[in-house]
A and B are shown apart, each in its own frame.
Chain A
């Protein structure tokens, strides 16, 4: 049996203009400093994409990154997809399924794709080799159709794919990259960039096993990890429910807490009856057909397949109903028809669309319609109101958005660009930051979330600091916290609307999640104390790679990755002023619970703490030279200055 090890990682560079490929071996130092996956993707982007590169041009690099733990039972099949976003920021997202392990089995840790093909192509990747094949017959197909055809043609059931749908091909805003039918990632623009390169899909089949430097040590570390995430032993209240009923359990909790985005977040609570009708319990009862999981997931059924058993859409099949969909196609647009939600989300997956883009842009359009800013002349005759009477019109709109037809063409731009075109005050209904729509996490009730949404370099991305709450403070002692050098007043940090300690808390969450995403592993599995105490992750990393890395060094990798994200944006001209919240959250109070608006003064206070703790300029948010030197990234400070960026001491 062939086996490969994990200390040293390789990048397969592919140029779609001339078909050239070459395999680069990264220095072992990079594994020590940035670990892998999201971390090394970040480093590669800084090195290989110059500032102000055109996102849809040949010089933008689309990266698919695995990491040292991919292919082991802790990697969960995660990959990072990354590139420069058409919005100008970093675009980076995490994605699950089975693609990552297979790429590593082919002896390739990263795919770096540049250039633009002159006709639709797909990549066929085998051990150390990439073939560029014609994909003209696949262009225009939905993701599920692409999956089925490629699977049949290539016949080996263990070939794994990533692909885009028609939305990505048509450069529709926020299109992600899909795989294993219902897994997706990179909604910050990766699917659009893939479409701009005329790259329809990537197929991979490897033949090498993943060697482990210290197998017994790895098993010992794995048992500790399983103890914290297994239903029977986890001391985290979310474990039993998240691992079976799954993420759509949240609307009932959110609504009760005033955290549920309702009618374009004009309100934050929805009718009890409506909330129950879209929640996980009813979904499980009526529509779930099967448990699904990513590679080696220790949970029974984070993912699911579903089927609609009766009614107009009988026979419709889909998968992965998360927390996003009951919000974006439920409370956000005031639709309590679960079957309609399932059809809309399933179609988004098939057409390759981002549900947050579609949901928030629909909600924006509905509020515009209610205010007379859009009329049925603009909406192809649809009465576009909250409550969604015209269900079939909505279903058809998904296709129109992906294909940029009719009213879909405006919506395909996303609410930020669309409101610039429509004007008439529609900007105040646009819930986006840095041009990217929000997700489902409430800001006016949880200040750490507000800060996280404002600062995330890719646009709102809660997974960069998910789960957004510390574990029960009783689970970890003061001595442990001190030993781990986490200087946080946990109880204060846990108080939702106390602005103090939020910058520090967000910093810690961002660093620890960056570590986990660079291994890689799945942030859903940050349970029990795994978000505060990274030692179990460190043990898994050192035993798998055989690298003798000190714990402090391991954690520092997370801080480096956090800085890489900020550095990319800074090079493109983003500054403190871009770390804002949507107008609604900054100017409107929630009508209950005393959740008031987050005014500029409050946001600035939290930004100050966050930048201060990070060693970033309070004026610009640019990492200081002192900080970059401390992180042994001093040469990047030099590169920044060479680009004309002012780096403070």
Chain B
């Protein structure tokens, strides 16, 4: 079963996830509402933004992509992923591999990046 997982260090703190989630049933944008199932905790000094998911992955209303929770599809950086548990580690490894090659992936996930990029690999392919 797919669940929503968080790749913390990709979160830029925008709260798109939280703001949209709050509105899916009520039609009201209220990031602080009791109905919200994801909350971005902000650490003082703006240095960490940590999404905390309190949701079983069955989105009340997937607005942007069919069968994908709204928060995951609206996230600009790729900090939220909707995967089977066995595949989440692969996503994390994909990010770390990409970061070893290009500093660009400090700020965006490779799965959100539609352009090619140069891999730096030791050993020939």
Contact = CB atoms under 8 A, between A and B. Distances in A.
B33 A1 contact: yes
A475 interface: no
Given A291-B77, A297-B14, A152 B28 contact: no
Interface string B5-39: 00001101111100110110011111111110000
B104 to A, nearest CB: 6
A289 B10 CA distance: 10
A305 B106 CA distance: 11
Contacts of A35: none
Interface string A286-317: 00111111111111110111000000000001
B100 interface: no
B112 A231 contact: yes
A291 B12 contact: yes
Contacts of B103: 284-285, 288
Nearest to B63: A219
- Chain B contact surface mostly: loop
B118 to A, nearest CB: 13
A151 B42 CA distance: 11
A3 B28 contact: yes
B47 interface: yes
A244 B45 contact: no
Contact of A240 (B41, B64, B115): B115
A630 B10 CA distance: 50
B12 A301 contact: yes
Contact of B106 (A284, A295, A296): A284
A72 B29 contact: yes
Contact of B107 (A73, A182, A226, A301): A301
A503 to B, nearest CB: 37
Contacts of A303: 12
Contacts of A319: 46
Centre residue among B16, B27, B76 by max chain A CB count within 10 A:
B76
Interface in B30-63: 30-35, 41-42, 44-47, 63
B19 A301 contact: no
B104 A212 contact: no
A73 B28 contact: no
A430 to B, nearest CB: 36
B14 A296 contact: yes
A209 B35 CA distance: 12
Contacts of B14: 293-297
Centre residue among A101, A208, A232, A292 by max chain B CB count within 10 A:
A292
Interface of B: 9-10, 12-16, 19-20, 22-23, 26-35, 41-42, 44-47, 63-64, 76-78, 103-104, 106-108, 112-115
21 contacts: A1-B26, A101-B31, A144-B45, A152-B44, A180-B46, A181-B45, A208-B30, A210-B29, A212-B27, A223-B64, A226-B64, A231-B113, A231-B114, A232-B114, A245-B104, A291-B10, A292-B12, A296-B14, A300-B12, A303-B12, A304-B107
Given A158-B32, A215-B23, A301-B77, 16 more contacts: A1-B28, A1-B33, A147-B45, A181-B45, A209-B29, A210-B29, A232-B112, A289-B106, A291-B12, A291-B106, A291-B107, A293-B14, A293-B76, A295-B19, A300-B77, A305-B47
